[in-house]
């Protein structure tokens, strides 16, 4: 679960107050759910073969995160303490099922590639962690910011990893609605007499771990306060 | 707070209301998206049938390509008699169209074969008839299904295409990859049951009636073998009658 826990604010504050900006900004960097808290790694490794999948996955997680945070935050004074984890799980699971059904209807090909990983958003620790650590104790406004911040923190790592993996693994980049765009000339490839070959290792999950590792390395070398003993 | 949100009665009330709201919301979503999902599934079925015959197409083009290559759609009873035959475009609302027979649902229903009908697709490619048999069965976690295409001798496998719902990624889920289905090409069915085997190690290269299963995906591989044998044994009756009538 998350290490940090934002305090409850009793007084009214403006939309882009320092506190709200912090909620948005922190998860992008110094408390990033993937690179710092190392949550939600499973899906980050599995579905980052193509940019297109990563975009859809990020949007799905963002939707579930915002929906879950807002609903739990609105109900925070009504949810019985003893069953709060069950309630959170039911809310997350319902949102995920809705996402899954919508993808099946409108994005069948991507839904098929994401396969079980859409369903596994239910068990994504980032979402459960934010509901438990933040939404349950805060008003809907800050909860939305917290959800967007953490969702984007998850998303940018996924996008970065998938861009690297797709460029080096497939020699192409897939944009939603445009399909895979190949930008290397066909004659460069060894198959047609050239010198270049796609790195197949990039398509396999271990390389996702290595790429995430490199991001973590860069991040910690820039901010040494993040390095644990 | 005026009420005690931790009282047992309130906890029950909260749960009941929550379940009702969630149930209604999910039922509504599911029902309103059903037609689109059905259409996607039908397109996918066409893509997979053509895929088993080695024709690559997309969801968008499936509607056009399917009737071009599939010249006849049959439905058979459990003794191999032809019940119905159609050709041309697929009408998703025509229940007598063999294309709309849901073999996965039939498998789940656990009805005896005598109460079911079995679809068979006869494709024409390069002047040869290719018979495509839909198969359905169980993997490790959930349903698996696929299409097995036989050449005009009704013995040699022309191609195959498998898919699954929730098999383990990297293990059983690999039955849907080409490296697995490509191994079936050119293999032959035996004359009697078991018609085909998926082996767990020890396969001899000269063995023409089997392929290697997937390492770490034994139960899924066994499921593939089981569904092929169970289904082919029924279609064999039809094939025998076709061969007999052509010999006379």
The pLDDT of residue A8 is 52
The alpha-carbon gap from B215 to the nearest alpha carbon of chain A, in Å, equals 17
Residue scoring higher pLDDT (B169 or B165): B165
Chain A residues closer than 8 Å to B169 by CB: 46, 115-116
Q: pLDDT category, A12, cuts 50, 70, 90?
A: low
The CA distance from B245 to the nearest CA of chain A, in Å, is: 43
Torsion of CA A56, A60, A61, A63, to 10 degrees: 140
Alpha carbons A192 and A159: distance in angstroms, whole number: 31
Percent of chain A with pLDDT over 90: 40
pLDDT of residue A13: 62
What pLDDT, on a 0 to 100 scale, did the predictor assign at position A1?
A: 41
Instruction: Between B245 and A10, name the one with better pLDDT.
Output: B245
Q: Does A205 touch chain B (CB under 8 A)?
A: yes
Q: Choose, out of A49, A81, A91, A105, the residue to mutate when testing the contact with B (most B CBs < 10 Å).
A: A105
Residue A112 with chain B: CB contacts under 8 Å? 44
Which of A104, A108, A115 is the closest to B59 by Cβ?
A108
CA distance A33 to A27: 6
The pLDDT assigned to B111 comes to 87
Assess A8–B contact: CB distance below 8 Å, yes or no.
Answer: no
Segment B101-146, tens digit of pLDDT: 888 888 988 888 888 889 999 998 888 889 999 999 999 999 999 9
Q: Count contacts between A and B (CB, < 8 Å).
A: 61
Are B5 and A97 an interchain contact pair (Cβ–Cβ within 8 Å)? no
Q: Among A40-54, A75-89, A204-218, which is the least confidently predicted range?
A: A40-54
pLDDT at position B178 over 50: yes
Q: What is the DSSP string of B166-200?
A: SPPTTTGGGGGSHHHHGGGTT-B--SSSS--EEES
Scanning every residue of chain A, which has its alpha carbon at the shortest distance from the alpha carbon of B47?
A: A109
pLDDT of residue B19: 94
- From residue A45, alpha-carbon distances to A41, A220, B237 in Å are 6, 20, 48
Greater confidence (A188 vs A210) lies with A210
To probe the interface with B, which of A77, A108, A177, A180 has the most B CB atoms within 10 Å?
Answer: A108
Mind listing the pLDDT tens digit for each residue in A104-142?
Answer: 999 888 888 887 788 888 888 889 999 999 999 999 999
pLDDT tens, residue by residue, B24-81: 999 999 999 999 999 998 899 999 999 889 888 888 888 888 888 888 898 888 888 8
Query: Is A199:A168 a contact under the CB 8 Å cutoff?
Result: yes
Determine the Cα–Cα distance for residues B162 and B148; give it in Å rounded to an integer: 8
Do A109 and B33 lie within an 8 Å CB cutoff?
A: no
Mean pLDDT of the region B188-200: 89
pLDDT at B35: 92
**pLDDT band for position B227 (cuts 50, 70, 90):** very high
Which is nearest to B154 in space by CA: B179, B131, B186?
Answer: B131
Nearest chain B Cα distance for residue A220, angstroms: 32
Supply the pTM of this predicted model. 0.80
Mean pLDDT, rounded, of chain B: 89
Residue A3: what pLDDT? 46
Least CB–CB distance from B14: residue in A78, A94, A205: A78
pLDDT digits (tens, 9 = 90+) for A141-180: 999 999 999 999 999 999 999 999 988 888 888 876 677 7
Asked if A97 reaches chain B (Cβ–Cβ under 8 Å), the answer is yes
Share of chain B above pLDDT 90, in %: 43
Beta strands B128-138 and B82-86, pairing class? unpaired
Instruction: Compute the mean pLDDT over every residue in chain A, rounded to the nearest whole number.
Output: 85
pLDDT digits (tens, 9 = 90+) for A13-47: 666 778 888 888 888 888 888 888 888 888 888 88
Question: For residue B26, what pLDDT is reported?
Answer: 95
Question: Contact B33/A77, CB-based, under 8 Å?
Answer: no
- Number of Cβ within 10 Å of residue A57's Cβ equals 28
Closest CA to A75 of A59, A61, A86, A63: A86
Question: Could A101 and B170 be called an inter-chain contact, meaning their C-beta atoms sit closer than 8 Å?
Answer: no
Q: For residues A227 and B183, what is the distance between their CA atoms, to the nearest angstrom?
A: 50
User: Given a cut of 50, is residue A2 above it in pLDDT?
Assistant: no
């Amino acid at each position: 679960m998350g290490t940090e826990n934002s305090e409850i604010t009793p007084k009214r504050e403006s939309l882009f107050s320092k506190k709200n900006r912090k909620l948005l900004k922190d998860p992008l960097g110094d408390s990033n759910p993937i690179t710092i808290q190392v949550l939600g790694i499973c899906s980050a490794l599995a579905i980052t073969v193509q940019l297109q999948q990563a975009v859809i996955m990020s949007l799905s997680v963002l939707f579930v995160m915002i929906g879950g945070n807002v609903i739990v935050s609105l109900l925070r004074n009504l949810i019985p303490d003893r069953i709060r984890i069950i309630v959170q799980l039911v809310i997350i699971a319902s949102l995920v099922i809705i996402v899954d059904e919508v993808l099946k209807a409108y994005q069948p090909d991507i839904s098929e590639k994401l396969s079980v990983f859409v369903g596994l958003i239910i068990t994504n620790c980032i979402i459960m962690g934010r509901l438990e650590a933040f939404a349950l104790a805060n008003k809907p406004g800050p909860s939305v910011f917290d959800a967007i911040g953490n969702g984007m923190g998850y998303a940018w790592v996924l996008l970065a990893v998938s861009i690297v993996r797709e460029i080096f693994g497939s020699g192409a980049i897939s944009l939603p609605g445009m399909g895979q765009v190949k930008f290397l000339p066909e004659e460069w490839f060894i198959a047609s007499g050239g010198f270049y070959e796609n790195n197949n290792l990039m398509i396999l999950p271990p390389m996702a771990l290595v790429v995430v590792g490199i991001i973590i390395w860069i991040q910690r070398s820039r901010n040494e306060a993040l390095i644990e003993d | 707070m005026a009420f005690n949100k931790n009282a047992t009665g309130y906890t029950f009330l909260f749960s009941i209301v929550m379940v009702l709201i969630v149930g209604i919301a999910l039922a509504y979503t599911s029902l309103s998206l059903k037609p689109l999902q059905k259409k996607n599934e039908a397109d996918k079925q066409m893509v997979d049938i053509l895929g088993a015959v080695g024709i690559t197409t997309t969801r968008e083009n499936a509607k056009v390509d399917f009737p071009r290559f599939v010249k006849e759609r049959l439905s058979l009873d459990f003794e191999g008699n032809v019940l119905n035959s159609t050709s041309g475009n697929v009408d998703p609302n025509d229940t007598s169209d063999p294309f709309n027979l849901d073999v996965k649902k039939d498998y789940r229903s656990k009805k005896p074969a005598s109460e079911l009908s079995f679809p068979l697709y006869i494709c024409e490619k390069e002047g040869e008839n290719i018979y495509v048999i839909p198969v359905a069965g169980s993997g490790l976690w959930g349903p698996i299904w696929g299409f097995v295409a036989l050449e005009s001798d009704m013995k040699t496998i022309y191609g195959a295409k498998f898919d699954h719902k929730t098999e383990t990624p990297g293990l059983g889920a690999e039955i849907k990859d080409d490296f697995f289905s490509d191994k079936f090409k050119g293999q032959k069915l035996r004359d009697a049951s078991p018609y085909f085997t998926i082996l767990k190690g020890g396969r001899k290269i000269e063995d023409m009636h089997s392929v290697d299963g997937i390492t770490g995906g034994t139960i899924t591989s066994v499921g593939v073998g089981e569904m092929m044998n169970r289904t082919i044994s029924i279609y064999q009756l039809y094939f025998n009658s076709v061969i007999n009538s052509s010999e006379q």
